């Protein structure tokens, strides 16, 4: 098969696989809300919802999930202005320095807060809070919806009749094939992630999928670390021998003094200093300067969690709702990164991608 036909087959195959996981969206800088499902009958009383955060509610990932939840509920008629929604919240504020004993104590505080509020549904954000709070909650009649779960629910003790939720499992094969087509290189690429418990879980699964696919032309090379200085050396020196970097996670990095490097700092530094193009599995990476990827968004996870919660509030048993991925994920491209790396994008990608235009990532200001 000659080069022209090989590229055509690769693009068609990739777009078919993308179509199964994401829907077409306009080229725009701002996220757009998902199409709402058919509205359910409005409850005869306000919906009482309780959110449990792993990290600070002000963290970008927490905020995006929360926004997806609240906007979805508003489209279904539940909001604060008409008194159709009542919201309780509790944050574990977990950091890399949080000791297991402290986490157990925080989990009990969360349990008490939930019991005091007596919500219709509890939504628990991210892995740490899910595995700390849900298994120790004593009442199996209280419905829980986890959201943004990277690990296996059974491994976390979440296989309970009152629990369902939204999984956060990325699409590494599709993104790697996309990167190979855009860079026109098929030798090797670096799979880079952090060594935190959650980070290790997700990058191990990503790498397993990559090496299990015998049709993948390029060779993935796994690199994991929790040390910031080692991370910097991997990016600055070792990555130069790779075709591109597949960036998985960067939440558990620490400097020599044991201080945690913020997600934003780690991402921006990596994008600014990488000697080869970076492709990401989450939309925030492309937004900040990665070339692109078939991306997960926290907003869409919030949308799915809200829809599940409404079905439960209407009488559905959590056990009847299978844990699932968000219904909608997005193909992302960053035109500024494409221009920086002097890459050429197949026209077929441009018709389905959400477009960003930020590169390099700014060092100041928040999202």
DSSP 236-270: HTGGGGSS-EEE---SS-B-TTSPBPPHHHHHHHH
- Output DSSP code: residue 82: T
Residue 32 has pLDDT above 70, yes or no: no
Domain coordinates in residue numbering, the chain: 3-26+170-295+330-356, 47-168+298-320
Note the pLDDT tens digit of each residue in 136-169.
999 999 999 999 998 889 989 999 999 999 999 8
Given 3.40.640.10, 3.40.50.2300, 1.10.10.60, 1.20.1090.10, which CATH number is that of 3-26+170-295+330-356? 3.40.50.2300
Cα(113)–Cα(203) distance, integer angstroms: 33
Kindly provide the b/e burial profile for residues 299-316, where b requires at least 16 CB atoms within 10 angstroms of the residue's own CB. bbbbbbbbbbbbbbbeeb
Cα(41)–Cα(311) distance, integer angstroms: 10
**Contact between residue 47 and residue 72 where contact means Cβ atoms under 8 Å apart:** no
Domains 3-26+170-295+330-356 and 47-168+298-320 share a fold: yes
Note the pLDDT tens digit of each residue in 97-147.
889 999 999 999 999 999 999 999 999 999 999 999 999 999 999 999 999
The predicted pLDDT at position 347 comes to 84
Q: Rounded to two decimals, what is the model's pTM?
A: 0.79
Domain 47-168+298-320 has CATH 3.40.50.2300: yes
Other CB atoms within 10 Å distance of the CB of residue 15: 17
Note the pLDDT tens digit of each residue in 276-327.
999 999 999 999 999 999 988 899 999 999 999 999 999 999 999 999 999 7
**Contact between residue 192 and residue 223 where contact means Cβ atoms under 8 Å apart:** yes
């Amino acid at each position: 098969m000659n080069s022209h036909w090989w590229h055509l087959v690769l693009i068609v195959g990739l777009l078919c696989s993308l179509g199964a996981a994401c829907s077409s969206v306009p080229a725009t800088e701002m996220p757009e809300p998902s199409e709402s499902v058919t509205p359910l009958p409005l409850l005869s009383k306000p919906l009482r919802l309780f959110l449990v955060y792993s990290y600070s509610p002000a963290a970008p990932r927490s905020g995006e999930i929360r926004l997806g939840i609240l906007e979805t509920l508003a489209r279904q008629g539940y909001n604060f202005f008409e008194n159709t929604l009542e919201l309780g919240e509790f944050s574990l504020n977990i950091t890399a320095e949080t000791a297991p004993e402290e986490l157990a104590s925080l989990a009990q505080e969360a349990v008490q807060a939930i019991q005091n509020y007596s919500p219709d549904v509890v939504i628990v954000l991210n892995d740490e809070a899910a595995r700390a709070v849900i298994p120790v909650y004593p009442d199996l009649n209280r419905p829980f919806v986890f959201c943004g779960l990277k690990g296996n629910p059974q491994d976390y003790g979440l296989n309970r009749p009152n629990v369902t939720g939204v999984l956060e499992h990325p699409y590494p094969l599709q993104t790697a094939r996309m990167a190979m087509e855009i860079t026109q290189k098929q030798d090797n690429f670096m799979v880079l992630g952090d060594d935190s418990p959650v980070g290790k879980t997700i990058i191990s699964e990503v790498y397993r999928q990559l090496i299990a696919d015998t049709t993948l032309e390029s060779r993935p090379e796994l690199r994991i670390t929790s040390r910031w200085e080692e991370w910097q050396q991997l990016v600055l020196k070792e990555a130069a021998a790779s075709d591109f970097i597949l960036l998985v996670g960067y939440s558990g990095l620490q400097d020599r003094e044991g201080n945690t490097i913020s997600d934003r700092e780690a991402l921006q530094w990596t994008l600014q200093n990488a000697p080869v193009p970076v492709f990401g599995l989450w939309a925030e990476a492309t937004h900040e300067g990665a070339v692109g990827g078939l991306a997960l968004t926290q907003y869409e996870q919030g949308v799915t969690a809200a829809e599940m919660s409404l079905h439960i509030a209407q009488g559905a048993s959590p056990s009847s709702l299978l844990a699932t991925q968000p219904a909608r994920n997005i193909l992302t491209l960053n035109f500024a990164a494409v221009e920086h790396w002097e890459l050429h994008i197949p026209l077929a990608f441009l018709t389905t991608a959400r477009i960003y235009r930020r590169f390099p990532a700014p060092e100041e200001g928040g999202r």
